[in-house]
Structure 1
Amino acid sequence: MNRVLFLTRAFFLVFLGFLGFGCTNYSTTAAVQAPPTLISITNNGNSNFTIKVRAQNPEFIFQGYRLYSGATETLAQNPADLNLGAQCVLAQATFVQPIEYTFEIDPSTNPNTAGVSCRIFTTLTPGTYIAMRTLGLSVNLQNSTSSFKVSISSNTLIVP
């Protein structure tokens, strides 16, 4: 019994020593997330829109998407503050596989309708441009903080 306890403790000490001193192959740069591709946007009436998006979520740090709108294509793709978009954090997603998402854009707090991947609670104005970015989780191990990092921008669509 003591031998098993000793071997278990010895294994954990060696393992912790390896993690603390032996593992030097890590990166301090954030992983790059692939941007989504906007396929279509449909006006469902009452400030409610449906957006079809094709995307691939290649990393376990993938969290969801953030939607931006602007008066021009450039303003939608390059907002002044990347934190000001409306986001959709997906709890369950298929990793590494390209998938087509259906997002519902609705300012109300209604639940998702059938077949909708996620609801984004915001108001869109017809004639404006929209773009999306992928959200990835970024963790700073030095000060134990985390935040979202965003990908480069998707293509844009004009809100009908």
Structure 2
Amino acid sequence: MNLKQANFAFSLLLTFVWVWNCTNYSTTASVQAPPTLISITNNGNSNFTIKVRAQNPEFIFQGYRLYQAATESLAQNPTDTNLGTDCILAQASIVQPIEYTFEVDPTTKANTAGVSCRIFATLSPGSYISMRTLGLAVNLQNSTSSYRVSLPSNTLIVP
């Protein structure tokens, strides 16, 4: 082993020891930007199309969670933010400002062409909907992970 290889191996070992023993990391969770709901259209047969604009450039971005309630306030502030219906998007690249098309349908059909994600849920006409962004939260102390939700989006009334 020459001196260059030995220096590389030593620096790699020091880096591994430093990362393994590092306790000075942030415990503050990253805040994701909430989406903006643009429109909702009734396509018939309990099928709806929702247009959403969003920007989530962070690598922890996972997708969106849809909430439905009888009032605007409850749709934006549910008693339990885990009770919505998720839409997990593929992580092929960093998400930039984009307009998404979501299809909400209680049946488990495949996505229609041009649809970013299908949300398997039943919406009731006259109810309110809201969405939140899902970010991945990892706890390094006990090696667990969960979703962290953003602040709520605006609301729309289901037609």
2:67 counterpart residue number: 68
Residue 40 of structure 1 pairs with residue 39 of structure 2: yes
Partner AA of 1:9 in structure 2? A
Deviations 1:110-157 (A, max 9, x none): 000000000000000000000000000000000000000000000000
Higher mean alpha-carbon deviation, 83-92 vs 126-135, is at 83-92
Normalised to the residue count of structure 1, the TM-score between the two structures is 0.92
Q: TM-score, normalised by structure 2?
A: 0.92
Flag structure 2 segments of 5+ consecutive residues without an equivalent.
none
Q: CA deviation at 1:61?
A: 0.3
Counterpart AA for 1:46: N
Give the superposed CA RMSD: 1.8
- 1:9 counterpart residue number: 9
Amino acid at match of 1:12: L
5 Å-filtered alignment, 1:1-160, equals 1=1, 3=3, 5-20=5-20, 24=24, 26-92=25-91, 95=94, 97-160=96-159
Q: Figure out how many residues of one structure are paired with residues of the other and give that number.
A: 159
Regions of 4+ moved over 3 Å = 1-5, 20-24
Distance in 2, matches of 1:111 and 1:4, equals: 55
Tell me if structure 2 keeps the 8 A contact 1:56–1:95: no
User: Residue 121 of structure 1 aligns to which amino acid in structure 2?
Assistant: F
Change (3 A) 1:96 1:112: closer
